[in-house]
Amino acid sequence: MIFYSLNKQSPDVDFREATINGQAPDKGLYFPKHIPSMNASIIKDIEMIPNEEIAFEVMSPYVGKSMPESVLKEIVAQTVNFPIPLVSVSENIFALEMFHGNTLAFKDIGARFMSRCLGYFVKDNEKKVTVLVATSGDTGGAVADGFYDVEGVEVIILYPSGKVSSVQEKQLTTVGKNIHAIEVNGTFDDCQRMVKQAFSDPIMKESLFLTSANSINVARWLPQQFFYFFAYKQWTDKKHPVVISVPSGNFGNICAGLLSMKSGLPIKHFIAACNSNDVVSEYLKTQVYKPKSSVATISNAMDVGDPSNFIRIQQLFEMDVSSLKNVFSSVSITDDETKKTIERIYRDFNYLLDPHGAVGYAALEKYLTNHPLQKGIFAETAHPVKFYDVVEPVIHQKISLPKSIENIIHKTKLSIKMDADYNCLRDCLLSMK
């Protein structure tokens, strides 16, 4: 598979180079030259096929000859070695629980896959690799876990001070060794902007072997297709096309879902479930894309005012808004609606949502109100315990802590505090060289 920059000013690359580069030299995101079609027999017999085989078939066309088949099979097996169950919540609504990995969030899939790919690609490299990543919450913990103690790799995680949950912060600031956290006095968009500046800085390119672990990286973005194939595998009513609601911040996860649909997965419609950061919802109304400053909400991982991956979604539909709207819609859910949804679904169905899953549920519920004959799935992207400080006051109960959280909750965070100034980041990175 060949990947090209969406800015179309950089050379085409293979999967290996796209993974190592992270972002193209012209600041564009890499995008596959063509969308592979999934073998129809795999779709037909999907219930009988092991998850690791499905994952291999999904990624094989993209990886191509960048690594031996045996290596790719081992990587996907290690990536999907935890359950991703489809759980009935109410009569017509099901939860795809994406949070059963090490860090209790959907980002574990992409982080596991990418860390193992990058480890393979740079194993004989003499220069240390610096992975630079911005997080609005869960990416940081997943990347820290995926890259922890990987030889020859240093990880720098930027996160917005006071705008991630206490559990998320502990997951990315207490790891140590080769994992370093930078606490930025600003928003996620500031963190993302600083990361992008680093990739386009010639001084940084000459001084460091720099790559990214955000969903801008194809090795983080593409394996998220697994979720949608596994959801369809568990969907019992194959004659009833499924609608999927995805909590959306930087739009990498839902973009992967749309890509799986373009590859032949029979999904009827995708809903981008947003919080008050409604750039995409407004775009679908006005057909004018206007980035905004992000707004802080209780579903903090979605607090993104300029989602990087939306350009990939536009490219999937060849910049045709009408074509996109045939299979894609977006709705914004307020914090008040989010809290009421958490309380109501716990009371009525004994199912505990995290704030992001609650946004997904509420958005799907609104869609089904207007399409009463349909059924749907929402992505439950994180374990509620990661947001216990939001959820517990709503349900008036304590959430028991999983062992993985108990082990870190009382640890002291280690972070470097920094203003949202790229020059400060550059000086910091060069000093850590």
Residue 88 in domain? yes
Encoded tokens for 243 = 């609608």
Name, in order, each residue with C-beta under 8 angstroms of 306's C-beta and a sequence gap of 6 or more. Answer: 189, 192, 279, 291, 292
Q: Does residue 267 belong to any structural domain of this protein?
A: yes
Residue 430 belongs to some domain of the structure: no
Number of domains within the chain: 1
Ranges 204-218, 291-305, 386-400: which has the least confidence: 204-218
Residue 330 structural domain: 82-105+221-403
As a whole-number percent, the residues of the chain with pLDDT over 90 amount to 69
pLDDT band of residue 410 (cuts 50, 70, 90) is confident
The average confidence (pLDDT) of the chain is: 92
Per residue in 294-317, pLDDT tens?
898 999 889 999 999 999 999 999
pLDDT in tens, 38-78: 999 999 999 999 999 999 999 999 999 999 999 999 999 99
| Residue 350 burial class via C-beta count within 10 angstroms: exposed 0-12, middle 13-18, buried 19 and up | exposed
pLDDT of 202 > 90? The answer is no
**On the CB side of 250, how many CA atoms lie within 13 Å of its CA?**
22
Give residue 72's pLDDT.
Answer: 98
pLDDT per residue as tens digits for the range 344-359: 999 999 999 999 999 9
Cβ atoms 234, 97 nearer than 8 A: no
**Residue 311 and residue 414: Cα distance in Å, rounded?**
35
pLDDT at 94 over 90: yes
Residue 142 lies in a domain: no
- Residue 122: what pLDDT? 82
How far is the C-alpha of 340 from the C-alpha of 88, rounded, in Å? Answer: 20
* Contact yes or no for 87/97 (Cβ under 8 A): yes
Q: Encoding tokens for residue 139?
A: 């990416």
**Residue 20 included in any domain:** no
Lowest mean pLDDT: which of 210-214, 224-228, 331-335?
210-214
User: Residue 192 carries which DSSP code?
Assistant: H
Given the DSSP bridges, would you call strands 3-5 and 30-32 parallel, antiparallel or unpaired? antiparallel
Kindly report the pTM of this predicted structure.
Answer: 0.89
Q: Check residue 248 and report its DSSP letter.
A: -
Spatial separation of the C-alpha atoms in residues 360 and 273, rounded to whole Å = 5
Residue listed under structure tokens 């739009």:
251
Residue 272 φ then ψ, to 5°: -85, 105
pLDDT of 196 reads 86
Residue 251: inside a domain: yes
Residue 69 lies in a domain: no
335-349 and 388-395 are packed helices; what angle lies between their axes, rounded to 10 degrees?
Answer: 60
For 105, list phi and psi in degrees, rounded to 5: -150, 155
Q: Which pLDDT value is given to residue 19? A: 93
Residue 25 placed within a domain:
no
Specify the pLDDT at position 229: 97
**Model confidence at 124: pLDDT above 80:** no
How far apart are the C-alpha atoms of 236 and 298, rounded to whole Å? 33
What's the angle, vertex CA 150, arms to CA 83 and CA 219, rounded to 5?
55
- Over 80: is that where the pLDDT of 155 sits? yes
Reference 432, options 216, 250, 178; nearest CA is 178
Question: Which CATH number belongs to the domain containing residue 383 in this structure?
Answer: 3.40.50.1100
* Rounded distance between C-alpha atoms, residue 104 and residue 109, angstroms: 11
